Structure 1
Amino acid sequence: MIATIVILFFLLLFMGMPIAVMLLITTTATLAIHTNTSLAVIPQQLFNALDNSILLSIPFFILAGNVMTQGSMARRLIDVVNSFVGSFPGGLAIAGTLACLFFAALSGSSPATVVAIGSVMIPALIEAGYGEKFSIGLLTSAGSLGVVIPPSIPMILYCLVMNTSIAELFMAGIVPGLLIGGSFIAYTVYLARKNGWQRSRSVTWGERLRILKDGIWGVLLPVIVLGGIYAGVFTPTEAAAVSLVYSLLVEICIYREIGIRDVPEVCIQGAVLSGCLLFILASAMTLIWLLTSQRLPHQIADLITAHVSSGWVFLILVSILFLILGTVMDNVSAMLILSPLFAETLGRFGIDYIHYGIIMVLVIEFGFLTPPFGLNLFIAMGLTDKSLVEVSNSIWPFLAILLFCLLLVTFIPQISLFLPGLLLR
């Protein structure tokens, strides 16, 4: 059975088959060849995979991100951050990184963060003399923090397939996200001092308060959403709905950057992306059901534990596997397919599911930044009119920083487990 799945999987993958269709064909063919089970179970499992209220949070977060991307919340957020750090060495670039951190906490989406912040900050940084290569690399890479800083759509998907707490994983992503953002800022300050990049003019406290008043509605959203989840006021699904309603009210009624006539187009864009993600999820969950019913995770665990004696070695090997798979397929899809297969192995090595989930999310962040399937690279190409090679060359220093942070999170579990252990366990 394993041979059939592997052969079909990679054959269809290299034929260019869409990932969801490829998963369904693999599941159906394997079921027909190796079992006597009726194929009527396929639509049943597709339905069961989507019969989960938590999935409602995905389209809500996607729609909220689209609203904020098309509105002015991102621009006002940049102004707020820049008013506080613009006078530091590399202040404008620091403001861009911090804006990505904040917007990631608003949208939960890496591509939305690159579009919203990068479209404003990349031209501003280049005009201020920060260098084209650095400006593109920084905003493309910092935009990937959308998958690490909660709320995060890949985190929600991981919790669904691994049956873990979304609130715990959200909280576990805060410190690693700040670690990566802080590392990008430290690198920016180093280059700013080395190259003598100009600073923004000092802003008086009166001006700062005026800018903060203008952008306070955007600053409050992550406080409301994440604070509500951790305080038990509402569930992650309800939090996603709150973020959508809040962003619509702010953009339509307060900032008035979006009109009622723009809402249908925002909904259409969100529906297309949500449909793609949910179709992939349902197909992956159906394949996972087949593999689990045939006890393949136990067989894989037996095989791994027979040849690997250390949990650390296992985590490194899995990370390398996902990085390699990221060159031939989307890492989010790889996570949905393979993570449940390693669930039994994680238990045998005593590896916390939350710790493993953060490692997977960081590897997914790599996937957004590495060709040929790095979605952030394609978005940066569209924003800057540069080739894939030019954009890819600009992000290598930041990939090195990200790799260093990945190793720290892997070998020091408390970086990700400290907050959940302190507040939720």
Structure 2
Amino acid sequence: MGSTLVFTMLLLFALSVPVAVSIGLASIAGILAFTQLPLLLVGQQLFVRIDSYPLAAIPFFILAGNLMEVGGISRRLVEFAKSIIGGVQGGLACTCVLTCMMFAAVSGSSVATTFAIGAILIPAMLKHGYPRPFAAALQATSAELGVIIPPSIPMILYGVSAEVSIGEMFVAGIGPGILIGGALMLFVYVWCRIRGMGRDDHEGRLGLVAAGRQAALALLMPVVIIGGIYGGIFTPTEAAVVAVVYALVVGLFVYREIAPADLPRIFRKSVVSSAVIMFIIANAGLFSWLINRAGIPQDVGTWLTETIHSGAMFLLAVNVFLFILGMFVETSASIIVLAPILAPVAVHFGIDPIHFGLIMVVNLALGMITPPFGVNLFAACQVARLPFHEIVRPLAPFVLVVGACLMVITYVPAISLTFRNLLY
């Protein structure tokens, strides 16, 4: 059934059917051809896929991102990041990565990061002469840091599924997040110098002190969000609501860049953006459900445990498997299904379950920027007003950079475990 589902989906892609619709139609074809289930189940599963408490964070974080955009918070974060690294050639591209790292400490959602930061930096990069596909690909890749740097919803799902400490998962995510962010900044700096992009990125750059003063309340926002989560005051999903309230109060009453008349437009934009992403997630979830129902992930997991007898080879096989799976299966579904299967095997090979959890999260985060189901790609294309197929080619170098970081994270456990061992 799996091969038929993939073939039908690719055929619909070739016929220029919208991606989310192609996924849904392929799933319906699979139900009709291989099961005796009623089609009523399609509507039920579409609802079930998005009837999730953690997913409630997505519309709230998108709303918070739009409020931060209009209210001047995102712009001040961008200006602060630009004051640090924006004075070199390619500094604006590096600013995109650094700002996403800071925003990731607020959002916990790569999609929200794409919308909030991309709405500012993609137009800015276009104004400075960066190619539109490059700008969109960079934004989509940088935004995946939203699920690697804590707080992170996939880390919560892994902690629950593998029965490990979510707090330890959050602390362990700091090292990999810094590594990937640093590698991306180094790559875009070298790439921009080779391609001759971003020569005038220093124009309009504020000094560090002035930018820091302007961004004080914006920089306080991650402290409030992370402090509230680590302090047990609210959950990551509730943190999305706190982010909305914080952005609304600061934008309305402190910076005064949001007028009451702006709110209907902000809410309408947030609803439309949320609906697009939720429709994709719902259809991808239906597709994932069919694959899981066919037992494909469990069969592969069983095969891994029976045929591989080395910890190093196990990790390599898991990385290859998760990379391929992440192209087709939604991240949350993959973690919920595979973590209880693979984590005990990792422990059997002497691999720390926290370290293995970071490997899973980083690997499946790659799925957010790999076709055909990369949610970040859809969001970045929507912000950049770019056809989906145009983002694929410039995306390849970024996937290679993150993939190389994944290999380092996999075989150098200290990157994930140093901070955890110091605090626990």
Alpha-carbon displacement from aligned partner over 1:310-356 (angstroms, at most 9, x marks no partner): 12211211221122223333344223222222233123122222212
| 1:138 CA drift (Å) | 1.9
Alpha-carbon displacement from aligned partner over 1:254-283 (angstroms, at most 9, x marks no partner): 345264546865785698667997999999
Q: Give 2:139's aligned residue.
A: 139
**Which ranges of structure 2 fall in alignment gaps of 5 or more residues?**
10-22, 37-43
Give the letter for the 1:319 counterpart. Answer: N
Aligned equivalents of 1:301, 1:199: Cα separation in 2: 48
Aligned equivalents of 1:270, 1:202: Cα separation in 2: 31
Q: CA 1:65–1:267 in 2, change beyond 3 Å: closer, same or farther?
A: closer
**Which ranges of structure 1 fall in alignment gaps of 5 or more residues?**
1-6, 31-42
Is 172-181 or 261-270 further displaced after alignment? 261-270
| 1:386 CA drift (Å) | 3.1
Alpha-carbon displacement from aligned partner over 1:120-151 (angstroms, at most 9, x marks no partner): 21232232234445433322211222121222
3-state secondary structure, aligned to 2:371:
coil
Q: CA 1:190–1:77 in 2, change beyond 3 Å: closer, same or farther?
A: same
CA contact (8 A) 2:63 2:244 kept: no
CA contact (8 A) 2:155 2:361 kept: yes
Q: Give 2:56's aligned residue.
A: 59
Aligned equivalents of 1:409, 1:312: Cα separation in 2: 13
| 1:382 CA drift (Å) | 2.4
- In the TM superposition, 1:192-341 aligns within 5 A as 192-194=192-194, 195=196, 197-201=199-203, 205=207, 208-231=208-231, 236=236, 239-255=239-255, 256-257=257-258, 259=260, 261=264, 265=268, 304-341=304-341
3-state secondary structure, aligned to 2:219:
helix
| 1:185 CA drift (Å) | 1.1
- In the TM superposition, 1:23-422 aligns within 5 A as 56=53, 58-60=55-57, 62-72=59-69, 73-194=73-194, 195=196, 197-201=199-203, 205=207, 208-231=208-231, 236=236, 239-255=239-255, 256-257=257-258, 259=260, 261=264, 265=268, 304-422=304-422
Aligned equivalents of 2:322, 2:129: Cα separation in 1: 37
Give the letter for the 2:215 counterpart. Answer: G
Aligned equivalents of 2:270, 2:125: Cα separation in 1: 32
| 1:250 CA drift (Å) | 2.4
3-state secondary structure, aligned to 1:395:
helix
Alpha-carbon displacement from aligned partner over 1:180-231 (angstroms, at most 9, x marks no partner): 11111111222344437234148564xx444433332221111122234345
Q: CA 1:302–1:125 in 2, change beyond 3 Å: closer, same or farther?
A: closer
Aligned equivalents of 1:77, 1:355: Cα separation in 2: 31
Alpha-carbon displacement from aligned partner over 1:49-104 (angstroms, at most 9, x marks no partner): x9xxxx75552464134222344222221122212322133222221211111122
Aligned equivalents of 1:238, 1:330: Cα separation in 2: 22
Q: CA 1:326–1:250 in 2, change beyond 3 Å: closer, same or farther?
A: same
CA contact (8 A) 1:106 1:221 kept: yes
Between the aligned residues of both structures, percent identity stands at: 33
How many equivalent residue pairs? 390
Aligned equivalents of 1:258, 1:340: Cα separation in 2: 49
Aligned equivalents of 2:132, 2:286: Cα separation in 1: 41
TM-score by length of 2: 0.76
| 1:391 CA drift (Å) | 0.6
TM-score by length of 1: 0.76
CA contact (8 A) 1:100 1:113 kept: yes
Give the letter for the 2:200 counterpart. Answer: Q
CA contact (8 A) 1:59 1:271 kept: no
CA contact (8 A) 2:288 2:328 kept: no
Aligned equivalents of 1:267, 1:118: Cα separation in 2: 14
Q: CA 1:165–1:14 in 2, change beyond 3 Å: closer, same or farther?
A: farther
3-state secondary structure, aligned to 2:316:
helix
Give the letter for the 2:258 counterpart. Answer: E
